[in-house]
């Protein structure tokens, strides 16, 4: 069955002076799917989010949401979207509950409906005990949940999550993931950006890896892992002998040295690596499933990004 | 369109400006008791120190005691300060530290509407605070005449003027400390030299003219004093016209400058 395209970008570009933040990219996001934008800092992810949510004008190209051009139908589009931004912009002058009801007013939601919706979302986000607390006393995880609740006040078709769990402890992250999965079951289209590869693998149907404003790969997370790094990775503690031996055993494989470890991406069927391990004895040898992080580091490189 | 032209483009705004205004009103009402105190105490201090204290050494001005000369000026000064501080420091905190504007423009409200709502709220603060001062000066001997009822609407208009001026500065300053430049170079001299504490006629003609043309407060003081002391001269219509012409220009400029700062 052909699924409806909800967000469509054609040759989308954004420049800040001489800096090209988004460089003529094309993508489509389907209704009901969860789509992740991955990339190092400065890759252009947040810039794309800001163009989708209609607060940053395009430099060139075309961007449509639900068939509406973002340059023309500003208000209608913003009414369809819920945004959980990267920066915490909850209103510190209000309580938890008021943060939701004041926000509902910006959407013209009638008072009684807004109150009912706010109560419902506080329950959903497990914040009902904090209902009348001033938000400055909330923990990081609670603030994130409140931001997510606020993004749902207008019952959006599209939910934009810009790094939804950055800086949270594991318990708080998993709680947020559970809530996002609940929303996915309700067929909300989720667009998210993240640095965390496990988060992308957990939450996204399809992902797009970006660097320097360009798309370097897109597809389903599992397919991408298979294609670029194979199913398994062999890790061995670094030594010259181990290196020589591995090169002989895997002449076609990509062999990386990361810190004091050697990583072998052999693209072999399961079991082949284990057999090699049995025959040779390496120090600190380990076979693990390869993951999205391996793909990401392969495609985006290991160098640190700063100031872009 | 040219760059200068873009700064004076008339913005499209809707009823949604009041949603922004209501947000600020809701916050204000949470702490209204502490909000009222400064506007009540400050004019009393000025009236006692300058009116009674200094006034004992000063001759009557236009046949009125000195305290009646400065009392209406204090009402006008409070219009200026309330709108100015609301749309400089308070707006800057909302914009920069709290990111409240960012949160609002993610909804169907536009940046133009956010800034307009802020300016309308600044004008409202002018109305509220100067009305309190107006109450105080009637206790200190300014006769309660029907003309006083025109001062609150005037306060809203003058508030719009100073809120727009303030918002232009907010759009331009790199950080919150930079407000000390407009404060010391513009607001403080204006506070002292706008016919507030002595008649403008005491100054050389060229300074008088400069004050009337360049200092918004001098026009506000002239109109407020005329209404408070029931002394309507034709010249106050010129002062009023000045306010009515300059306010919309600065209002539009403020919105476009803020748009330039925030929409990237």
Specify the DSSP element, H or E, that contains B226.
helix B216-228
The pLDDT score that the predictor gives to residue B35 is: 80
Q: What percent of chain A has pLDDT over 90?
A: 59
Could you say which of A183, A203, A225 is where a domain stops?
A: A225
From residue A191, how far is each of A49, A63, A232, A293 by CA, in Å?
8, 15, 29, 19
Could you state, in order of their start, the residue ranges of all structural domains in chain B? Answer: 3-262
Torsion of Cα atoms, B115 then B160 then B121 then B263, to 10°: 10
Do A59 and A194 fall within a single domain? yes
Q: State which residue of chain A sits closest to B16, comparing Cα positions.
A: A106
pLDDT of residue B1: 55
For residue A170, give the CATH number of its domain: 3.40.50.300
8 Å CB contact of A106 and B109 = yes
Query: Does A77 fall in a domain?
Result: yes
Residues A90 and A27 in one domain: yes
What is the C-alpha to C-alpha distance for residues B11 and B113, in angstroms, rounded to an integer? 9
pLDDT for A105 beyond 90? yes
CB A299 within 8 A of CB A228: yes
Same domain, A240 and A215: no
Distances, alpha carbon A78 to alpha carbons A93, B130, B264, in Å = 24, 39, 17
Residue A188 · residue A151 · CB < 8 Å: no
What does the pLDDT look like over A138-167, one tens digit per residue?
999 999 999 999 999 999 999 999 999 988
**Cβ contact B23–A91 (<8 Å):** yes
CB of B91 less than 8 A from some CB of A: no
Q: How far is B157 from chain A (nearest CA, A)?
A: 26
Please check whether residue B26 touches A, CB under 8 A: yes
A53 contacts in chain B (CB < 8 Å): 106
Per-residue model confidence (pLDDT) at position B56 = 87
Using the structure block, give the residue that is written with the tokens 């603030």.
A143
Could you tell me if residue A51 is inside a domain? yes
Distance separating alpha carbons of residues A71 and A58, to the nearest angstrom: 8
Nearest to B26 among A16, A102, A106 (CB): A102
Please give the ipTM for the structure prediction.
0.91
CATH number at residue A238: 3.30.70.260
Cα angle A181, A184, A187 (rounded to 5 degrees) comes to 165
Q: Which residues contact A23 (CB under 8 A, 6 or more apart)?
A: A13, A44, A212, A213, A214
Boundaries of domain holding A268: 231-289
Residues of chain A with C-beta less than 8 angstroms from the C-beta of B23:
91, 102, 105
Flag whether the pTM goes above 0.90: yes
Residues of chain A positioned with their CB less than 8 A from the CB of B264: 16, 56
Q: Name residues 143-182 of chain A within 8 A of B (Cβ).
A: 154
Based on the fold, state whether residues A111 and A176 are members of the same structural domain. Answer: yes
- A22 assigned to some structural domain: yes
SS3 at position B49: helix
Give pLDDT, residue A307: 43
The reply to whether A299 falls in a domain is no
Q: Are A128 and A114 in contact (CB under 8 A)?
A: no
> How do strand A158-162 and strand A206-211 relate by DSSP bridges?
unpaired
Q: Do B106 and A57 touch (CB under 8 A)?
A: no
Separation between Cα atoms, residue B74 and residue B76, nearest integer Å? 5
How many Cβ atoms sit within 10 Å of the Cβ of residue B210?
A: 14
Spatial contact of B43 and B67, defined as CB atoms under 8 Å apart: no
* Per-residue pLDDT at B137: 94
What distance in Å separates the CA atoms of residue B99 and residue A66, rounded to the nearest whole number?
A: 28
Q: How many domains is chain A built from?
A: 2
What is the spatial distance between Cα A101 and Cα A221, in angstroms, rounded to a whole number?
Answer: 38
| Range name among A143-147, B19-23, B38-42, B65-69 with the lowest pLDDT average | B38-42
Distance in Å, alpha carbon of B13 to nearest chain A alpha carbon: 12
Determine the average pLDDT of the residues in B203-217.
Answer: 93
pLDDT score recorded for residue A305: 63
pLDDT score of A275 more than 90? no
Chain A touched by B99 (CB under 8 Å): yes
- A45 is a domain residue: yes
Would the pLDDT of A1 be above 80?
A: no
Kindly state whether residues A30 and A174 are assigned to the same domain: yes
Give yes or no for a contact between B117 and B200, defined as CB atoms under 8 angstroms apart.
no
Residue ending a domain, among A188, A207, A225, is A225
What share of chain B has pLDDT > 90, as a percent? 85
CA of A15 vs chain B CAs: smallest distance (Å): 10
The model's pLDDT over B2-36, given as tens digits with 9 standing for 90+, comes to 788 889 999 999 999 999 999 999 999 988 888 88
Q: A7 vs A277, which has greater pLDDT?
A: A7
Pairing, β A81-84 against β A254-258: unpaired
The rounded Cα A247 to chain-centroid distance in angstroms is: 36
State yes or no: pLDDT of A241 exceeds 80: yes
Question: Based on the domain organization, do A14 and A160 belong to the same domain?
Answer: yes
Condensed to tens digits (0 to 9), the pLDDT of residues B146-156 reads: 999 999 999 99
- Token couple for A30: 């389907």
Tell whether A10 and A110 lie within a shared domain. yes
- For residues A166 and A236, membership in a common domain is answered with no
In a domain, A301, yes or no: no
Please indicate, yes or no, whether residues A179 and A262 belong to a single structural domain of this protein.
no
Cα dihedral B41, B43, B45, B46, rounded to 10, equals 170
* Domain shared by A148 and A184, yes or no: yes
**Cα dihedral sign for B29, B34, B40, B46?**
negative
Burial class (CB in 10 A: 0-12, 13-18, 19+), B138: middle
CB-closest option in B27, B102, B108 to A93:
B27
Mutation target among B11, B28, B96, B106 for the A interface, most CBs of A within 10 A: B106
pLDDT per residue as tens digits for the range A185-194: 998 999 999 8
The pLDDT tens digits of the residues spanning A278-303 come to 777 777 888 888 888 888 888 877 66
Take residue B163 and report the two structure tokens written for it.
């809120």
CB B262 within 8 A of CB B114: no
Report the phi/psi class of residue B226: left, alpha or beta, with left for phi > 0 and alpha for psi in -120 to 50: alpha
Determine the Cα–Cα distance for residues B54 and B114; give it in Å rounded to an integer.
44
- Quote the CA–CA distance of B218 and B43 in Å, as a whole number: 18
Q: CA of A53: which chain B residue's CA is closest?
A: B106
Structural tokens at position A191: 């667009």
Nearest chain A CA: its distance from B259 CA (Å): 11
Burial class (CB in 10 A: 0-12, 13-18, 19+), B6: exposed
Residues A188 and A237 occupy one common structural domain: no
| Residue A306 reports pLDDT greater than 60 | no
CB of A16 within 8 Å of any CB in chain B?
Answer: yes
Q: According to DSSP H, which parts of chain A are helical? A: 45-52, 74-80, 96-106, 111-124, 140-151, 170-185, 197-203, 221-229, 240-249, 272-279, 292-300
CB pairs < 8 Å spanning A and B: 61
Is residue A305 assigned to a domain?
Answer: no
Place of tokens 């309190």: B132
Reported confidence tier of residue A20, pLDDT bands at 50, 70, 90: very high
Determine whether the interchain pair A85/B102 forms a contact, defined as Cβ–Cβ distance below 8 Å: yes
Q: Answer whether A103 touches B (CB < 8 Å).
A: yes
d(CA A17, CA A15): 6
State the greatest distance between any 2 C-alpha atoms of chain B, in Å, as a whole number: 60
Interface with A, mutate which of B107, B117, B263 (most A CBs under 10 A): B107
Average pLDDT of chain A, as a whole number: 90
For the segment A195-199, the average pLDDT, to the nearest whole number, is 86
B176 has a pLDDT exceeding 70 = yes
Pair A236, A117 in one domain: no
Per-residue pLDDT, averaged over A183-203, amounts to 91
Chain A CB within 8 Å of residue B153 CB: no
Measure the CA–CA gap between A76 and A66, rounded to whole angstroms.
10
Q: What is the pLDDT of residue A15?
A: 95
d(CA B121, CA B159): 9
* A46 neighbors A161 (Cβ within 8 angstroms): no
Answer yes or no: is pLDDT of A55 > 60: yes
State mean pLDDT over A174-189: 92
Query: Is residue A64 a part of any domain in this protein?
Result: yes
Top pLDDT among A308 and B60 is at B60
**In this complex, which of A53, A76, A98 lies closest to B106 when CB atoms are compared?**
A53
Q: Among candidates A301, A113, A272, A299, which has minimal Cα distance to A208?
A: A299
Note whether B106 contacts A81, CB cutoff 8 Å: yes
Q: Is B29 on the interface with A (CB under 8 A)?
A: no
């Amino acid at each position: 069955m052909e699924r409806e395209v909800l967000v469509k970008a054609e040759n989308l570009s954004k420049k800040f002076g001489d800096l090209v933040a988004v460089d003529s990219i094309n993508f489509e996001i389907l209704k009901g799917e969860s789509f992740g934008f991955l990339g190092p800092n400065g890759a252009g992810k947040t810039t794309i989010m800001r163009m989708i949510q209609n607060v940053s004008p395009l430099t060139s190209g075309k961007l449509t949401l639900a068939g509406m051009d973002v340059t023309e139908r500003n208000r209608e589009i913003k009414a369809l979207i819920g945004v959980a931004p990267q920066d915490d912009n909850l209103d510190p002058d209000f309580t938890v509950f008021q943060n939701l009801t004041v926000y509902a007013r910006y959407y013209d939601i009638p008072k009684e409906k807004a109150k009912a919706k706010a109560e419902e979302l506080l329950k959903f986000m497990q914040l009902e005990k904090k209902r009348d607390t001033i938000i400055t006393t909330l923990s990081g995880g609670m603030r994130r949940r409140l931001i997510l609740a606020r993004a749902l006040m207008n019952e959006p078709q599209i939910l934009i999550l810009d790094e939804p769990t950055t800086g949270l402890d594991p318990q708080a992250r998993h709680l947020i993931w559970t809530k996002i999965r609940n929303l996915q079951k309700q067929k909300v289209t989720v667009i998210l950006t993240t640095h965390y590869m496990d988060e992308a693998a957990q939450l996204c149907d399809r992902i797009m890896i970006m660097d320097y404003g360009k798309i370097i790969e897109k597809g389903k997370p599992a397919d991408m892992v298979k294609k670029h790094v194979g199913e398994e990775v062999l890790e061995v503690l670094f030594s010259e002998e181990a290196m020589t031996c591995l090169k002989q055993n895997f002449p076609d494989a990509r062999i990386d040295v990361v810190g004091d470890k050697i990583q072998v991406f052999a693209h072999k069927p399961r079991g082949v690596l284990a057999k090699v391990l049995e025959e040779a004895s390496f120090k600190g040898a380990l076979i693990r499933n390869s993951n999205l992080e391996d793909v990401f580091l392969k495609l985006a490189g290991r160098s640190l990004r700063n100031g872009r | 369109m040219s760059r200068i032209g873009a700064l004076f483009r008339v913005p499209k705004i809707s009823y949604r400006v009041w949603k922004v205004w209501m947000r600020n009103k809701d916050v204000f009402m949470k702490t209204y008791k502490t909000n009222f105190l400064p506007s009540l105490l400050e004019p009393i201090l000025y009236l006692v120190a300058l009116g009674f204290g200094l006034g004992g050494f000063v001759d009557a001005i236009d046949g009125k005691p000195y305290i009646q000369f400065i009392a209406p000026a204090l009402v006008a000064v409070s219009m200026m300060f309330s709108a100015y501080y609301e749309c400089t420091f308070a707006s800057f905190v909302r914009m920069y530290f709290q990111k409240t504007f960012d949160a609002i423009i993610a909804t169907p409200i536009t940046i133009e509407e956010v800034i307009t709502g802020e300016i309308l709220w600044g004008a409202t603060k002018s109305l509220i605070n100067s009305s309190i001062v107006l109450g105080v000066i009637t206790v200190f001997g300014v006769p309660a005449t029907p003309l006083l009822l025109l001062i609150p609407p005037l306060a809203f208009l003058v508030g719009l003027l100073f809120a727009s001026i303030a918002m232009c500065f907010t759009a331009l300053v790199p950080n919150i400390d930079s407000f000390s430049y407009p404060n010391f170079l513009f607001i403080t001299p204006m506070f002292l030299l706008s016919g507030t504490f002595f008649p403008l006629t005491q100054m050389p003609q060229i300074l008088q003219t400069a004050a009337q043309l360049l200092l918004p407060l001098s026009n506000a003081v002239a109109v407020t004093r005329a209404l408070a002391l029931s002394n309507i001269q034709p010249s106050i219509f010129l002062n009023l016209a000045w306010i009515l012409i300059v306010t919309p220009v600065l209002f539009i400029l403020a919105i476009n400058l803020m748009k330039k700062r925030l929409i990237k």
